[in-house]
Amino acid sequence: MTATLLSDRAVIRLSPLAAGEDVAEFLQGLVTNDVTGALPVWAALLTPQGKVLFDFLVWADGSDLLLDCEAAQAGALIKRLSLYRLRRKIGIASDAALGAHWRAGDGPSPDPRLAALGQRWLEKMTDQSADDQWLAHRLSHGVCEGHAELHDLLWLECNAAELNGVSFTKGCYVGQENTARMNWRAKVNRRLVVVPLAESDPARQRAAYPVQGLAVDHRRVEDIPADARPAWLEPG
């Protein structure tokens, strides 16, 4: 059987612990995307200045919400969300029974960022990992994610608008003011881009992947080679 588990991902469950608690309403005021509509969506939790702390996919499970996030950052994300919870009766904890799964190709559950990324779903854990295949596939489509690639960058510089990671109509969230201002002024001066490792600029490099021969650079828009711009990033 083909491996589908992304073993470097974890699932966090947000659950209402009292009648009247609304987990979606709680998360809606914190993250960049609309979590009260159709799910899954890609979203981020930002600093007040609009810089990335964490990115994740948000899924519905009845009255609960599930966050498909980077496993190495799950504990820190739980801690950050718990700070915003204050006295609300909301459970925020890892769900060790569930794992994030992926496979290439078309199907009923396309990745909300880009259909070409393939199918994404949550189900019970398995023993075989598809991490290497997913990394190669993701980079081949020029899509960036995770702490090493995104952390402390402005969300729109991470191509969030082009990859359906932000709603400009949902109302306030942490970091919304700077994010909205950048969008209104069309002032995204730098972007993340996947380039051949041999052509990576060490001063702009965010992550290097020698096995794939690729790197993620944070470059000024005018310094991005035409052949490094994926089709989904082209204007129009």
Listed by start position, the domains of the chain span: 9-188
pTM, full prediction: 0.96
State mean pLDDT over 200-207. 97
Span 30-87, pLDDT tens digits = 999 999 999 999 999 999 999 999 999 999 999 999 999 999 999 999 999 999 999 9
Closest CA to 182 of 55, 51, 56: 51
Name the CATH topology of 9-188: Gyrase A; domain 2 (3.30.1360)
Strands, E, within 63-197: which ranges?
64-70, 90-94, 98-103, 119-124, 190-196
Question: Cα-atom radius of gyration of the chain, to the nearest Å?
Answer: 18
pLDDT at 77: 98
Mean per-residue pLDDT over the chain, rounded: 96
Q: Give Cα 223 distance to the centre of its chain.
A: 25
pLDDT tens for residues 124-149? 998 899 999 999 999 999 999 999 99
Higher pLDDT, 171 or 217: 217
Question: Taking 70 as the threshold, does the pLDDT of residue 119 lie above it?
Answer: yes
Question: Regarding predicted confidence, which is higher, 2 or 44?
Answer: 44
Cα separation, 216 vs 39, in Å, equals 28
Say what the pLDDT of residue 127 is: 86
- pLDDT for the residue numbered 234: 81
**What pLDDT does residue 1 have?**
64
DSSP string, 35-82: -SSSS-EEEEEE-TTSBEEEEEEEEEETTEEEEEEEGGGHHHHHHHHH
Q: With the C-alpha atoms ordered 24, 25, 27, 32, is the resulting torsion angle positive or negative?
A: positive
Q: 221 pLDDT band (50/70/90 cuts)?
A: very high
